[in-house]
Amino acid sequence: MFVFKTVTDLQQHLNLAGNGKRIGFVPTMGALHEGHMQLIKESRNKQCYTVCSIFVNPTQFNNAADLEKYPVSIENDMKLLDEAGCDVLFLPTAAEMYGDDITADAYDYGAIAATYEGEKRPGHFDGVITIVGKLFTAVEPDEVFFGQKDLQQCMVIRHLVKTDFPFILFNMIPTYREENGLAASSRNRRLTQDQKEKASNIYKGLLHAKQLIKLGHPAEEAIDSAKKTYLADELFNLEYFDLVDANLMQKAVTTEAPGEYALVIACWCADVRLIDNVLLTD
Ligand code: AMP
């Protein structure tokens, strides 16, 4: 695997090395796990020359403590990427990406970036859009791969692609889960074994509510039932648990109108904030 730290070196390499292959790009913040590898594998399955970036983007953290606690495990990350057959790792510094001015631009994407994660983490999506735009400009990929685990991020990036990078093909990859159903996440490392077991109730709650909605129960009743059955433990502190129109990221009351619906959840498990979702169409 080739490793580059500057945009110039990366671009020089990609201009020659891709051998005419399409370039597939997987942006990450490192602390890699099997969930990230699913994206690398999908890029490889699609015969793309595969570039992964690792950059812990300071402008998307609205909470300085969260940025400080973000796990770093670069040696293990490189080993996993190598094993998965990643072709290139792009490992820039903050100065390389931002110069002297480490700030996000302001975007108005309407509800898709203003609700849920946008509301709970002010400025988060401005930081995400800013860095992803810079990375897309540096890598010039043909295809990009993002995880459904961060459904709202997928909707935001899909919008960015549509407006600013129309030649890129956007791929959303299903959430990879641990054996007990807990969505794989870098943050899971901060949970004890017992907390991890309990945190699997987040997915069980999503599936329970999904099943009830599919059986025709009102969404509110289905979600209440899931909360009582799976999320009553005092370990949990629920931030949101809603049915949404996935394309708009706006709360929905029923699934009657045609469209794509999802159940989305953010829940603190002790001092770790976890998010998850399921599509109603799966
Ligand atoms: P991150 O490093 O957390 O910013 O994530 C980088 C990419 O990996 C994003 O597109 C995430 O949605 C994706 N990702 C993270 N966890 C998972 C997972 N469990 N399954 C699938 N994709 C994931």
Band of the pLDDT at 263, cuts 50, 70, 90?
A: very high
Question: Residue 39 and residue 42: Cα distance in Å, rounded?
Answer: 5
Question: Residue 11 and residue 208: Cα distance in Å, rounded?
Answer: 47
What is the b/e burial string over 96-134, where b = at least 16 CB atoms within 10 angstroms of the residue's CB? bbbeeeeebeebebeebbebbbbeebeebbbbbbbbbbb
Q: What is the pLDDT of residue 20?
A: 83
HSE-CB for 254 with a 13 A CA cutoff: 7
Mutate to test the pocket of ligand 1, among 149, 160, 173 (most ligand atoms within 8 A of CB): 149
Tell if the pTM clears 0.95, that is, is over it. yes
Q: Is the pLDDT of residue 18 over 80?
A: no
**How far does residue 167's CA lie from ligand 1's centre (Å)?**
23
Q: What is the pLDDT of residue 65?
A: 85
At 146-185, the pLDDT tens digits run 999 999 999 999 999 999 999 999 999 999 999 999 999 9
Question: Residue 151 and residue 275: Cα distance in Å, rounded?
Answer: 10
Question: Residue 190 and residue 192: Cα distance in Å, rounded?
Answer: 7
Q: What angle do CA 249, 252, 256 make, to 5 degrees?
A: 120
| Farthest CA pair distance, the chain | 57
Q: What is the pLDDT of residue 150?
A: 98
Nearest CA to ligand 1 atom 6: 28
Q: What is the pLDDT of residue 66?
A: 83
Question: Residue 205 and residue 211: Cα distance in Å, rounded?
Answer: 10
Q: Is the pLDDT of residue 50 over 80?
A: yes
At 214-256, the pLDDT tens digits run 999 999 999 999 999 999 999 999 999 999 999 999 999 999 8
Q: Is the pLDDT of residue 271 over 80?
A: yes
**How far does residue 216's CA lie from ligand 1's centre (Å)?**
32
Quick one: which of 145, 152, 131, 117 has its CA closest to 36?
145
Band of the pLDDT at 281, cuts 50, 70, 90?
A: confident
Q: Is the pLDDT of residue 69 over 90?
A: no
**Is residue 57 lining ligand 1, measured as CB closer than 6 Å?**
no
Cα dihedral angle (28, 82, 94, 149), rounded to 10 degrees?
Answer: 10
Q: To the nearest whole percent, how much of the chain has pLDDT over 70?
A: 100
Tokens found for residue 128: 């995400």
Q: What is the pLDDT of residue 73?
A: 93
Question: Residue 114 and residue 184: Cα distance in Å, rounded?
Answer: 25
Band of the pLDDT at 1, cuts 50, 70, 90?
A: very high
Question: Residue 24 and residue 144: Cα distance in Å, rounded?
Answer: 6
Query: Which ligand 1 atom sits closest to the C-alpha of 31?
Result: 2
CB 193 within 8 A of CB 72: no
Nearest CA to ligand 1 atom 17: 35
**How far does residue 196's CA lie from ligand 1's centre (Å)?**
18
**How far does residue 38's CA lie from ligand 1's centre (Å)?**
9
**Is residue 173 lining ligand 1, measured as CB closer than 6 Å?**
yes
Q: Is the pLDDT of residue 13 over 90?
A: yes
Q: To the nearest whole percent, how much of the chain has pLDDT over 90?
A: 93
CB 36 within 8 A of CB 42: no
